[in-house]
Amino acid sequence: MADNLELLVIEKKEGVLLTNIDKLETFVQEKLKEYTPENYKGDADAAKKDRATLNTSKKTLAQERIKVIKELMKPFEDFETRCKALEKNIDAAAGALDEIVKAKETAEKEIKRAGITEFFITRQFSLVPLEKIFDDRWLNKTVKMKDVQEEIDAKIKKIYADIKTIEAFGVDVETLKPLYLETLDIGATIERGRAIQENRARLAKEAEERAEREQRAKMQEQQTELAKEEIKAQQTAPVASLAQQAAGVPVDEDPEMTYTLRFKAKKSVLFALRQYMIDNKIEYEKLED
């Protein structure tokens, strides 16, 4: 059909359009000299009237131009319409045949896909499914099965190498491996590992700073409590002395007292505290470990 589908031009005339455009050009150029602004000084009404005349003349000329061009283009418009109709009919026929071609191509791709799946199974690789590394380009006729197999082996080799890279990273390995298998992006995985490390360090620092803040607050609270007790002791001491003197009891300016306290600190600090108490003859009773 394509050999016989040749569009032949039986007759074509180019540049055949006879008009009086030459005379019009000469007439208009001469006539426009009468309408220069110098001829209307002080006479706006005349200028307004002649302006309307010029606009009407332009409109008349434009209408005639459009009419002539439309008449000249009619054969070409008819020709274009009929050609487009033929092209549409050819497209419809080609579309019907396209379904047959596509069905055959789909069947061939499925056969090739089955072969690729069978080869992948022989690699005994189960870290990721075939779909995770599958490249639709492999189904093209231009791509040889040998090249597909080599690409699959290369992808498997890279995954194993990336897993070793993650293990060499040494931190959060069991977290990063599953993440890598989701994305197969070693760069993003390592970057995620670094981010986890940085976040952990920030959290540890915050926990340490918080513990220090809480300890300072506790020490301040204890210091305040001790100061209150000392003031109270000083206030009640004179009363107690008078009572003891009246009863004939010797006055003890620094009487013995018994406290029950619970200490919390590092082991070395607690050992040092017990040693201090021993050195200063402070009796204590160990209640529990």
Domain ranges of the chain: 29-96, 146-208
Task: Specify whether the CB–CB gap between 50 and 35 falls below 8 A.
Answer: yes
Average pLDDT value for the chain: 86
Instruction: Outline where the chain has alpha helix (H).
Output: 21-31, 44-122, 130-133, 145-169, 173-183, 186-246, 267-279
pTM here is 0.51
pLDDT at 33: 86
Question: Closest Cα to residue 255, out of 242, 241, 275?
Answer: 241
- The residue type found at 32 is L
Q: Is 181 exposed, middle or buried (0-12, 13-18, 19+ CB in 10 A)?
A: middle
- Return the percentage of the chain with pLDDT > 70, whole number: 87
User: With 90 as the cut, is the pLDDT of residue 181 above it?
Assistant: yes
pLDDT in tens, 49-72: 888 988 988 898 899 888 888 888
Question: Hunting for tokens 């455009």 — which residue is that?
Answer: 21
Angle at 190 between CA 188 and CA 194, to 5 degrees: 110
